[in-house]
Structure 1
Amino acid sequence: MDSMMMDMMKSMPADKMMGMNMAMMQECIETCSAAAMAATMCADSGMGADMGKCSSMCSNMMDVATTMMRMMMRPMGYDMASMHAMMMACIEMGKACSAECMMHADMDEHCRMCAKACDAMVMACEKAMKSMAMA
């Protein structure tokens, strides 16, 4: 996240952040963005008819990661139960997409890269969730 976006996040009213760790939020937003981009490119890579499931999983991953990222960028509307549920969905979709892409990683570089981006996002979301639980 560039410094302008981080400055904007820091300018939000602290009482609306509900104990969210800003550094972990930043990492989660960045990895959600990277996973969404990787999944979009993987889904659109012209894999062929036999890769329909992978393409659909990547499209779903992009949607979930983008939604998670946008939710985190709207702290005025935080609802901890909703944020927790969305993070769980993001983690599970990231794991599923990574597993699907890893089945093709030896023959398709874009699948390997997408799986790597999904794994990084899952780790960042898990860290952010742990900070939420302590808040």
Structure 2
Amino acid sequence: MSMMADMMGSMTMPDTMGMDMTMMQQCVEACSAASMAATMCADADAGENMGRCASMCMSCADVATATMRMMMRPNGYDMGVMRSMMTACMAMGEACAAECDMHADMSEHCRICASACRAMVSACQAAMGSMATA
């Protein structure tokens, strides 16, 4: 069992939370991985004079981190706000993946970042699909 699963299991979750905990955990982990990959990609991009890609990666890392941190506070969930954050996270992940895809043939870090961003988008979609509609 992961630390994340242990921590979630120790928390009292509100009955009205409206999100599948397994999907939430997978989304938090995917956001964390995308944030790390995008941060490292941005650093490498800066050394390669790829300013737009670096900027997109840092924005993606910021949105992924903010979304992840909000998801780790389920007692304060507002489903409308969470949906908006996850939608923004998916949009930024898609944009970052598209930018990194343009460099993926010559840059392994861009290929890895694009893959992590796509995995985050998929995890956010799955988590959103598990949310209560109320």
Secondary structure of the structure 2 residue equivalent to 1:14: coil
**TM-score normalised to the size of structure 2?**
0.92
Counterpart mapping for 1:111-130 below 5 A: 111-130=110-129
> What's the CA shift for 1:7?
2.1
**Alpha-carbon distance between aligned partners in 1 of 2:81 and 2:38, rounded to the nearest angstrom:** 24
> What's the CA shift for 1:17?
5.8
Equivalent in the alignment of 1:48: 48
Equivalent in the alignment of 1:96: 95
**Alpha-carbon distance between aligned partners in 1 of 2:81 and 2:122, rounded to the nearest angstrom:** 19
Structure 2 gap segments, 5+ residues each: none
Tell me the C-alpha RMSD between the 2 structures: 1.5
> What's the CA shift for 1:15?
1.9
Aligned length in residues: 133
Amino acid at match of 1:12: M
CA shift digits 1:11-60 (9 cap, x unpaired):
322325612101101110111010000000000004433x1100000000
Secondary structure of the structure 1 residue equivalent to 2:14: helix
Amino acid at match of 2:56: M
Secondary structure of the structure 2 residue equivalent to 1:15: coil
1:37 aligns with 2:40: no
Structure 1 gap segments, 5+ residues each: none
1:85 aligns with 2:74: no
Moved more, 102-111 or 9-18: 9-18
> What's the CA shift for 1:4?
3.1
Does the Cα contact within 8 Å between 2:13 and 2:75 map onto a contact in 1?
no
Secondary structure of the structure 2 residue equivalent to 1:28: helix
> What's the CA shift for 1:8?
1.8
CA shift digits 1:76-131 (9 cap, x unpaired):
11000110000000000000000000000000000000000000000000000011
Query: Closer, same or farther in 2 for the Cα pair 1:23/1:17, shift >3 Å?
Result: farther
**Alpha-carbon distance between aligned partners in 1 of 2:17 and 2:25, rounded to the nearest angstrom:** 15
**Alpha-carbon distance between aligned partners in 2 of 1:57 and 1:4, rounded to the nearest angstrom:** 30
Identity of aligned residues (%): 65
Secondary structure of the structure 2 residue equivalent to 1:120: helix
